[in-house]
Amino acid sequence: MSKRLLSFSGACASDNWGDLSNHLSTRIEERVPATSFKMLDCFDQSLRASKALLLEVGEELILVDANGAMWRQPAARSGNFVADLCDGPVKARLTHMSPLRCLLEMGQGQIDCTMLQFADDSENTHLRIGWLVLSAGETTVTLLTVNAMRGYKKSAKHLHKTLQNRGAVPADLAEVTDALFPDLDHYVAKPKLSFAPSTTAFDAANQIVRAYLAVARQNEPGVIADFDTEFLHEYRIAMRKIRSVLSLFKGVYEDAVTAELKQRFSGLMASTGPLRDLDVYLLERELYFDMLPDKLHEGLRLMFEAFEADRSAALTSLTNRLQSVEYKRDMAELQCMFDTPDALLQGEHGDESVADYAKRLIWKRYKKVCKTAREIDDATPDAQVHELRISCKKLRYLIEFFKPEFDAADIKVILKPLKRMQENLGLFNDYSVQQESLQTFVERGRLNGQPALKAAQSVGALIVILHMRQLEERARVVQNFARFDSSQTRQCFRRLFS
Strands 25-41 and 104-119: antiparallel
How many CA atoms, within 13 angstroms, populate the side-chain half-sphere of residue 413? 17
- The answer for residues whose C-beta is within 8 angstroms of residue 471's C-beta and 6 or more apart is none
Looking at the structure, tell me whether residues 196 and 340 fall in a common domain: yes
Predicted model pTM: 0.91
Other CB atoms within a 10 A radius of the CB of residue 155 amount to: 20
What pLDDT is attached to residue 464?
94
Looking at the structure, tell me whether residues 337 and 208 fall in a common domain: yes
What is the rounded CA–CA span in Å between residue 450 and residue 452? 5
How does pLDDT run across 415-462, given as a tens digit for each residue?
999 999 999 999 999 999 899 889 988 888 878 888 889 999 999 999
Furthest C-alpha separation in the chain: 85
What pLDDT is attached to residue 13?
62
Spatial contact of 200 and 352, defined as CB atoms under 8 Å apart: yes
What pLDDT is attached to residue 28?
83
Looking at the structure, tell me whether residues 366 and 345 fall in a common domain: no
What pLDDT is attached to residue 312?
97
> Which of 135, 152, 180 lies at the terminal end of a domain, its last residue?
180
Distance (Å) of CA 489 to CA 79, 355, 421, 456, 494: 45, 20, 13, 47, 9
What pLDDT is attached to residue 2?
46
Q: Give one DSSP letter per residue of 300-334, joined into a string.
A: HHHHHHHHHHHHHHHHHHHHHHHTSHHHHHHHHHH
What pLDDT is attached to residue 117?
84
What pLDDT is attached to residue 21?
63
Other CB atoms within a 10 A radius of the CB of residue 133 amount to: 20
Looking at the structure, tell me whether residues 121 and 204 fall in a common domain: no
What pLDDT is attached to residue 16?
57
- The answer for residues whose C-beta is within 8 angstroms of residue 65's C-beta and 6 or more apart is 50, 51, 52, 71, 93
> Which of 288, 319, 352 lies at the terminal end of a domain, its last residue?
352
What pLDDT is attached to residue 168?
83
Looking at the structure, tell me whether residues 329 and 375 fall in a common domain: no
Looking at the structure, tell me whether residues 11 and 151 fall in a common domain: yes
- DSSP helix/strand/coil, 73: strand
AA identity, residue 459 = V
Looking at the structure, tell me whether residues 366 and 479 fall in a common domain: yes
How many CA atoms, within 13 angstroms, populate the side-chain half-sphere of residue 309? 8
Looking at the structure, tell me whether residues 375 and 479 fall in a common domain: yes
What pLDDT is attached to residue 17?
57
Q: What is the CATH number of the domain that holds 419?
A: 1.40.20.10
Of 6, 3, 5, 4, nearest to 166 (Cα)? 6
> Which of 331, 352, 373 lies at the terminal end of a domain, its last residue?
352
How does pLDDT run across 223-262, given as a tens digit for each residue?
999 999 999 999 999 999 999 999 999 999 999 999 999 9
Domain tally, the chain: 3
Q: What is the CATH number of the domain that holds 117?
A: 2.40.320
Looking at the structure, tell me whether residues 172 and 228 fall in a common domain: no
Spatial contact of 477 and 428, defined as CB atoms under 8 Å apart: yes
Domain that holds residue 249: 189-352
- DSSP helix/strand/coil, 400: helix
Spatial contact of 51 and 69, defined as CB atoms under 8 Å apart: no
Looking at the structure, tell me whether residues 427 and 491 fall in a common domain: yes
Spatial contact of 60 and 74, defined as CB atoms under 8 Å apart: yes
Looking at the structure, tell me whether residues 305 and 359 fall in a common domain: no
Which residues of the chain register pLDDT less than 70? 1-3, 10-11, 13-22
Looking at the structure, tell me whether residues 287 and 370 fall in a common domain: no
Spatial contact of 262 and 247, defined as CB atoms under 8 Å apart: yes
